[in-house]
């Protein structure tokens, strides 16, 4: 099966980040730092590794710091160059985007993820595209979206990243109704947004990585409100389960961290901190000492 190459990605970043107030009163949630990089940088790096060339951000008011992050900083670069700090200059290269590679569109009302993706429709055009939610940070030997692009080359259609969750947590996710289970790749016959545990068709949950066909945008044109009164992306994808191209779920290899929650952010900080060769061992020693002191105090 020959499929079109995925070169465009949408990053919905219009949310207010209220779960991280007061920090997000003055800075976008996506700029919050995980070890030494903002959340959005992890998503951008993952997209680049998957061959993405065009980056579309769906933003809202108060996101100017996010836009500035990807611009060149002449004064800072000049100061580093004069100081001979070439290693830091090299680090900055990953934060700079070429002219024309990045575009911004506004979502002027908070109407859900489906609406955010729909806002980017004119920039997407008539070709398949990826969607990455920066809240979901995935530690993987091979980046999650790269795994999806490789699998999508075999299946075509729409594809979602999926992971198994406990029954008690199905009400927090879009859940797949599995038609055919091929192990890593499953054929999807239906999707349910945030079902109660007793109503969930499986425990395979959709997380924030998608490869979608332009037909999903056509479905979103109908602007149906779903769970929570929002326009759900899951509903628009679910309409494609009966189509010729179909919908697939990929059980990706890696560990996903929900950095949209405080506990998830803390867990990711520990995991990514321990993985850093320059200070991982020292950090591990600190954690062990801290846990020992807590046990002794009990």
pLDDT score, position 1 = 55
> Taking a C-beta distance cutoff of 8 angstroms, is the pair 158, 238 a contact?
no
CA distance from start to end of the chain: 61
pLDDT score, position 209 = 96
Residue 69, H or E segment = helix 64-69
The share of the chain scoring above pLDDT 70, in percent, equals 96
Average pLDDT score over residue span 43-69? 89
Nearest-angstrom CA–CA distance, 272 and 37: 11
Nearest-angstrom CA–CA distance, 257 and 139: 8
Nearest-angstrom CA–CA distance, 90 and 87: 5
pLDDT tens figures, 232-256: 888 899 999 988 889 999 999 999 9
User: What tokens does 112 get?
Assistant: 């859900």
pLDDT tens figures, 175-223: 999 988 888 999 999 988 888 999 899 999 999 999 999 999 999 987 6
Residue boundaries of the structural domains of the chain: 8-260
User: Domain 8-260 falls in which CATH fold?
Assistant: Spore Coat Polysaccharide Biosynthesis Protein SpsA; Chain A (3.90.550)
Mean pLDDT over all residues of the chain? 89
Nearest-angstrom CA–CA distance, 161 and 211: 9
pTM equals 0.90
Is the pLDDT at 224 greater than 70? The verdict is: no
pLDDT band at 67 (very low <50, low <70, confident <90, very high): confident
Nearest-angstrom CA–CA distance, 249 and 274: 30
User: What tokens does 226 get?
Assistant: 């779903």
């Amino acid at each position: 099966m020959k499929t079109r190459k995925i070169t465009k990605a949408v990053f919905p970043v219009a949310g207010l980040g209220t779960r991280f107030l007061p920090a997000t009163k003055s800075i976008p949630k996506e700029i919050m730092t995980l070890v030494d990089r903002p959340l959005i940088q992890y998503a951008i790096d993952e997209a680049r590794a998957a061959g993405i060339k065009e980056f579309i951000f769906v933003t809202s008011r108060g996101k100017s710091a996010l836009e500035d992050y990807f611009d060149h900083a002449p004064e800072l670069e000049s100061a580093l160059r004069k100081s001979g700090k070439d290693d830091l200059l090299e680090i900055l290269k990953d934060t700079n985007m070429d002219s024309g590679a990045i575009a911004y569109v506004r979502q002027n009302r908070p109407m859900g993820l489906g609406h955010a993706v729909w806002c980017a429709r004119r920039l997407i055009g008539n070709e398949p595209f990826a969607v990455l939610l920066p809240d979901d940070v995935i530690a993987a030997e091979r980046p999650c979206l790269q795994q999806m692009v490789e699998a999508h080359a075999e299946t075509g259609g729409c594809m979602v990243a999926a992971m198994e969750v406990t029954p008690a947590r199905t009400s927090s996710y879009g859940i797949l109704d599995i038609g055919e289970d091929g192990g890593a790749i499953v054929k999807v016959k239906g999707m349910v947004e945030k079902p109660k545990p007793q109503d969930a068709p499986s425990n395979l949950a959709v997380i924030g990585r998608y490869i979608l066909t332009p037909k999903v945008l056509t479905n979103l044109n109908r602007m149906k409100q779903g769970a929570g009164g929002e326009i759900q992306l899951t509903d628009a994808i679910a309409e494609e389960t009966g189509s010729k191209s179909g919908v697939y779920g990929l059980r990706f290899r890696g560990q996903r961290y929900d950095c949209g929650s405080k506990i998830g952010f803390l867990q990711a900080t520990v995991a990514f901190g321990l993985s850093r060769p320059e200070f991982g061992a020292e950090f591990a020693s600190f954690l062990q000492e801290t846990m020992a002191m807590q046990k002794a105090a009990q």
